[in-house]
Structures are given as C-alpha cells and as structure tokens.
Structure 1
Amino acid sequence: MKRFLALCLAACLLGGCATAGPMPAPAKSPSSPAQAGPAGEEEAIKSALQQIKQGPGANYRISPTDLVDITVFQQAELGRKLRVSQNGTVSLPLIGAVKVGGLTIDEAATLLADKLKEFVINPQVTIFITEYAQRKIYVMGEVKAPGSFDLPVESRLTVLEAVSLAGGFTPIAAPDRTKVVRMQGGRSQSITIEVSAITKRGEKEKDLPLEPNDVVFVPQSYF
C-alpha cells in the first residue's frame, strides 16, 4: 500500500498534477501600454497626435463658442472668422444672424448658401472649424486612468493637475521624463517636465500650463 501511494505521489509531481488543468496566462493590464524604450514612447505619442489631427470628423455638429472660418467663393468681403454665439448663431453681411448650432459643417454651409442666394449668384460657402468648443487635453502612458479631459476656459490646468485627474502615476512610471507634446505651426514640439523639481524643490514655475490638444505622456521607468 505504501509503495502504491509513493508511486501515485511521484506520478503527480512528474505530471504537474494534471487534474488541476493548464496554468492560466497572466492577465494584461489595460492601463499599462507596451513601451519598448524610447522607440515605443515615440510611437505612442505619434499615434495620439494622429488621432488629434483627424479631429471629430464629418459628423461633428457645430457648438456654441466654436471658432469658425466662413468663406464665400469669389466674395471675400462676405467671409468672416468668428465665434459661434451662445445661442448657436453666426452673423454675416447681407443675411445677418443665422442659427448653425446643432448642424454639421456641410449642413451649415448649405444653409448659409441658401440665405445668400437672394444677394449672390450661385454662392459657394465653405466652413472650417479652427477651434472646437470642447477644449481637450490627453494624458497617456503610466498613469492610472489615461484618457482625455476637459480644459477649463476660465482657469488654467497644469501638467501635475492633469496627471492627478488621470489618477496619478503608476508604480512603474518615470515622472522626471514626463513629456508635454504640443502642435505648433503644424509641427509637434516636445517639452520634458522634471516633476521632482516641482514636487521636491518647489519650482512651481516648471509645472507647465496646458493648451488645447496638448498630450501629457508619462513613460515607464527603465529597469
């Protein structure tokens, strides 16, 4: 009997106790994107900037305080760059205030063209939104809750405040290599934020105020 039990125990150890089933694979954390060193960081930042450049898309509906650039083909004097009013209207020469809030860009251009037909032969209206009412910043990388956040209109939001909104740094973050990536003149500019200078040495001026569409990126520590 003892010999039988010994043989069973040996079989179990050698076979890994097969009755327990296969070992489960470790779960992947959705809040920890893969970063293979500087190259991985650069790729993640590029991906975020590409999404921002694409904008909300053709189905975006004009909102109060959007900044719009309206042009009328071969009628430069009728064009205007203006902010949509709180009640969703824009004012143009000849036709006055027209409600465009809630319309897509194509719908608004068609409406303005219809209004101008009384005064202009075959008017062709184009609308560009140069600044969206929804002012967003993006916090990515080694923070606990990465995502996009509203940028206040009446007050400023700094880098560390944005990281706080995103739940703070993860245990494997490299705070002193935090970057702010900002689009200027169609090109991206990267600014490194030395967090320890702000938190440990009290150099508050290094806590950069953020601008619309800024990306705050927190890389991993190199172990």
Structure 2
Amino acid sequence: MTKLLRHYKMIVFLTALIAVPGPAHAKEQAMTPEELERQQQLINQQVLQTYAEAGAQPVDPGIINMEVPSDSRYTLGVNDVIEVTVLRHPEVSGQYIINQEGKIQYEFAGDVHVAGQTKDEVTDTLQEKLTEFIISPEVTVKIIGYNSKVVYVIGEVGQPGKIFMRGDTITVREALLQAGLPLLTAKVEKSKLFTPSANGVPEQKKVNVKSLLYKGDLRENLVMKPGDTLFIPPTAMTKVMRTIQPVAAPITTGAGVGRTVTTGGF
C-alpha cells in the first residue's frame, strides 16, 4: 500500500509538470536584409537576458553581439529575388525572381543567367548587356529575397524549421540565434548535425551546444551547408512528461467540479 501511494504521488507530481509548451512552428518566409538585421538585434538582446536570468555569462560577449553576415559573397540561386536599379532609367529597373533555369527575364536583354553569381558579378553582366542600349549605364543590384539556400534547426528550440541563409554557409551558432535558442527542455550537450550524403545515409556529427553558447568553445561552432539539419534533443524528463501527458485526462465530478485523474494501472 505504501509503495502504491508513493507511485501515485510521483504520477501526480509529474502530471503537474506536463504543461510544457511545444515548440512553435517557424515561419517559412524569407526576410529582407533589413528585417533580418532588426530581428538579429532583438535576438541578441534576448540572448543576453537569458544568460543573465540563468546566472551564466559567455566567456566572450562578442559571441552574442554578432553582426549579420554580409551578402557580398552570396551566390544567387533559384527563387532568390534581386532588385536592379539603373540610374535615370526606371524602364529597365525592377525586381526579378530567379527561375528554375537560374535566369531572370530582363527588359531588352531577354533571359539572363545569374544563378551561381554574386550580386557584383550580376551587376557587371547586366551593365555589359545594357551598353548596347544605354550610354555608360550605372547599375546597382540588391538581394531582397534569400530563398535558395536553407538549413534546418529542429527539436527543442524556440522556432524550429527552415533557416534561410545569407551566405553559402552558416555556423551552428548563427543558425541557433535565428531559431530562437534552445529551450529549457533541451539536452543541449547531446545535439547532432546531420549532413546529406550521396549514398542516402546522412553523416552525423556531435555538437555540444552547451559548451558553444555558455563557454564560448568555438570548436563546437561547426559550419552548416545548404540542406544540413541541426537537431536539439529533449531531456529525459521532458520525454517522460510528454509520455504521461496523453494519459492524464480532465474529467468532471458529479458535483460539476473539474479534476484530473490518471488512467491506467500502476
């Protein structure tokens, strides 16, 4: 009887803890550079606040106060969006989506292949084509939609899902900052990085996110490439609570007072 009572108390205790919010779904929409920069500043503030509340400080504050990477070396791909501005010539200025063939449909020049080029290289390409119609054209190219390169952060983070890259690579730290950082339910020291391979079996690498974020161990700041997935697993207690959660069912007593009971055998 005593053993049964102890078991019952443990179930009640765990049931009281099961109100753990599930991770929110990420918005799978690319952001403009300005929006990404504003979000990065907000994330930086949230990260510092999180460290302060946890009573822990990173070894190097610069780890948190990072800058949004430059897009000057970003190679364009399918579905990226660029804005072309030709000084004093609005008729050949506008926004263009790179199609599945890696081209944009540009006025006067027809289909222009731009995939695999940087924005500076596209500027030179368009400038050369426009010299047939315009004397000394002044062309500016700006990337306004990053849609071709993505990595994934899943598991116990604030906003799991796609991360749209502003470069050809992204580090684990940068991806985590954009994904909302690990939750309290995360077993961060057991994280894994999965990379697609030709044989269909993804390569796995262990990542100690705890050492990276809280101790500044840059050896754990692995480089992610398009298609990579970073998995932040739950703690054992989180797994237990989520297993118990469906078992606990709210019922109404005869007097109309709601209470929670645990079904199933002990």
TM-score (norm 1): 0.46
- Structure number, greater radius of gyration: 1
Structure with the larger RCO, 1 or 2 (CA within 8 Å, 6+ apart): 2
